[in-house]
Amino acid sequence: MASSPSSARPRWPSPLRRSLPRVGKRARKRNRGDEPAERGAASSSAYPVGDGVLTLRDELSPGTLREIERLDAKPAANSEDRWQRRSELLFERLTVRWEIAGLPLHGQKELLGRYRMASAEERSAVRQAVAEHLSARHPELDV
């Protein structure tokens, strides 16, 4: 059964579409100029890890610190599971950049994915760098 031209959804001509106002909270803020202040680059420290360099953020937000405390308080299947979750959370929140053999990784998803695929030796070196970093920057956290 063929559809009739009148039942088809009418299309607006392109000039009319361009003249419609933007809708949404972001568009209104953009028009008012109420953009949030740009954050400056957070300070970070670099640590040699195997044949690469791991760059870790110097400060943890209060929310991250609370999440680490909450994670430590949650019941886990076993202590190994809790330790694994904690080490991944710290890696995810601290790591800004990881350069491996000249290949830089920046995004959180690709960093965490690479960490999960890392060999036992690489993971151990990363955990050691994170532990060294935490003992220098956040002595209140147990490593």
- Given a contact cutoff of 8 angstroms between Cβ atoms, the answer to whether 126 and 49 are in contact is yes
- pLDDT of 5 reads 57
Domain ranges of the chain: 48-137
Q: For residue 125, what is the enclosing H or E element?
A: helix 120-137
Query: Is the pLDDT confidence value at 38 over 60?
Result: no
Long-range contacts made by residues 28-31, C-beta under 8 angstroms, separation at least 24? none
Torsion of CA 121, 139, 72, 82, to 10 degrees: 10
pLDDT score, position 133: 95
What does the block give as tokens for 94? 């601290």
- Buried/exposed 5-18: b ≥16 CB within 10 Å, e otherwise: eeeeeeeeeeeeee
pLDDT one-digit tens code per residue, 62-117: 999 899 888 877 776 688 888 888 999 999 999 999 999 999 999 999 999 999 99
Tell me the pTM: 0.68
- Where is average pLDDT lowest: 18-27, 28-37, 59-68? 28-37
Question: Taking 80 as the threshold, does the pLDDT of residue 7 lie above it?
Answer: no
- Give percent above pLDDT 90 in the chain: 45
- Tens of pLDDT, residue by residue over 39-49, are 556 799 999 99
Higher pLDDT, 90 or 3: 90
Give the closest residue to 90 by CA, choosing from 69, 104, 76: 69
Confidence of residue 141 (pLDDT cuts 50, 70, 90): confident
- Quote the tokens at residue 140: 């209140």
Three state DSSP letters for 3-15? CCCCCCCCCCCHH
Mean pLDDT for 130-136 is 94
